[in-house]
Structure 1
Amino acid sequence: MYKQPKVSSITSDLSEALKVHHSAEKPDFLGPPGSIFLLVSTFLNSNQRFNSRSGRYVQLGSYADDGNNSNSIHISKHALDYASEYRYTPFKIECHSELTDKKQGQKLVTELLKFIKDDFSRQNPSFRNIPIFDLWWIDLNGDLQIIIKTTELYVYLCKPDRYRKEVNGITMTPHPPSHLPPQHTVILKWVHHSILNVNLEEELKSKYGSLYSIKEMAGTETSRTRHLKVEFLDKKDYDNILNSGKICLFGHLITVDAFLSVSKILICNRCNTPGHTKNSCKNSTVDICRRCGENSTNLAAHKDCQVKCHHCGGPYESTDYKCKFIADYRRQLIEELKKHPEHLPPDIQLFIPKEYRSDEDRSKSIYNKSAYEYKQYLCRQKQQ
């Protein structure tokens, strides 16, 4: 049973706010804007202990890739939630003059939501809830930082021209995220290098007016082709191009596929072991260098230290997916998600990399089928 947490004071630093927000268990409720409610649970998943005298790990059992390691790996609920939850990039509103107290922020948030209400409703006629921000705070520079977890509102506010310019003498300059959520993103596969991005953008805009961005996907380039990630503000444009499956551009028939997030591994920033956070780490009292496995209190001494994984001894960092321990943990995490897809949010689909698919099940994605189908049913009902 959860215990009711204390209300934290308004967080002024962006990194601290996100660290707390991501490492906390999901709360039963959210407080008024500017407040953060925390529920913290302790998770322990480790086969190592820290030796304070030597300043490094002492293995309780050396990791060996014997094919049975996944049976002994425990996946906590926190790790499952972290793997499936989409990390929403904060919106920044630069304020001139700087915000100095919570009341100013509250007034600005209220006026902004009031300003966008009518136009947002016109743009999203099937949206029945009241548009609100999930979290906001004032950072050290006196600017407003906002977390939005409602996809429709998130996408709507990604256009800078939808903001008020001034509230009570405070000029606002919006800095929205550079990318849209996966639900508005497709992949154009094997696009030939002869087709330049600038020409492709012009052609797609003539067909789909809500085109937001085109970016090459890292690691997909070959001598002849590459994959492109394409984002659309309008869900109808996204659905149309995705349902077509193919698109003809400059005489080339290009495959269109959905862009899916991959499951993320919760890794402790202190001991570099998956399954828990630094706040609940029981393996070490000091930060451990992920390059060499030594005490990293003196950061200057670890700029050129020897790279050796302290999990398996390989020539890479201890948090690298090349590590057999991390790879086995990831494999077991994916298996747990496949066994319990009901824990995934209804609008989230997770991509399964090829090397983590079994011979019995070659599925490329994991999703909450019942919740997804029910959401689709509700959408059809609203459109009727």
Structure 2
Amino acid sequence: MTSVGAGFRLARAGWVLVREGVVAALPGEELSGMPKLGWRLARVLTRRRARSHLRGDRLAQAVVRLGPSYVKLGQFLATRPDVVGNDMAVDLALLQDKMHTFPKAEAVAAIEASLGRRIEDLYATFGEPVAAASIAQVHGAEVVRDGKASRVAVKVIRPGVRHRFFQDLESYFLAARLQEKYIPSSRRLRPIEVTQTLAQTTKVEMDMRLEAAAFSELAENTKDDPGFRVPAVDWERTGRDVITMEWIDGVKMNDLTGLAAAGHDLKAIAANLVQSFLRHTLRDGFFHADMHPGNLFVEPDGTIVAVDLGIAGRLGKKERRFLAEILYGFIVRDYRRVAEVHFEAGYVPRQHNVSAFAQAIRAIGEPIHGQSADTISMAKLLTLLFEVTDLFDMATRTELVLLQKT
């Protein structure tokens, strides 16, 4: 794959973002010189119809138009407000439910090719798609075991998504290299290494057998945990392009009205979710790294069931200890210890002063200590976090990218 082809695809992506009004929607008043001229030109070139749309809708429409790989990139960047800014991250989060389904016949062909069996021999019934994401979509089906029918969820990879993704990947790396070359202040964010992380996680995500293995591992780790589980995998009907698993009857966690109507205690669910995630992260060092509300269901008894485990993260014992100490230090307001851990872990370069960094951490922790979530301005908090990491020359830690994402 040539750099010319990557450059062409990158230019096309930029043109689509300009025409859909995404660039014009960015805050450009404070720019100067060529960047401001480019921003003004983008406003002129924005399609008339796009000008009436909200910024988030413009962004979602543009990224969906560019294809599944750009949706995946957008979803990944939605979790990196330090890279794209808080407002843009919020808009990118809207991409979770924007993908169109592909025809049932194509899903059947993919399943039969992957498993080497006819669809009638695999499933008693096989329905239309019920959910779609950037990499795959889900169908409802039934299987018969020992004369008894049971409902299953069948996740099938999008036709051609691997080829399209690997084509687009070169343009991602070209954009990252250009960013590092022409925007020196962004180098500490390590855009090339972050792109490599995106590439590797998506390669893994596009093999359904590896997702099945992640479900199996997480199930073993959590078998004795209260209030959390993952679906059981049907290995007989799982291959590179398809995974079959237990159907989950529950309310999606992003359906707050539905949760309340079902009589669930929302505070108890929130506490259970945080405690479960900390167990997976700190105890096991293996966690669900795509845990947005659309991938979490709540069963009638309050049990949380996590689905869509294509992306999983791992932490070594050293990183888990550092993370535990940092969290505990924030909880008990021991900012000095939090600062020391950052230096011990190598997150802050040694030429900086521990006490000065502890002071900066106090400026982050004190305004939010004991506050309810609805009183905390995430925009202000993220801005301060970014400024502190810049002030103390903190580079992106690629081993923590998936944890930060989640």
Indicate the TM-score class for this superposition, using the shorter chain for normalisation: under 0.3
Identify the structure with bigger relative contact order (alpha carbons < 8 Å, sequence gap 6+): 1
Query: Which structure carries more helix by proportion?
Result: 2
So what's the TM-score if we normalise by structure 2? 0.22
Query: Which structure carries more strand by proportion?
Result: 1
So what's the TM-score if we normalise by structure 1? 0.23
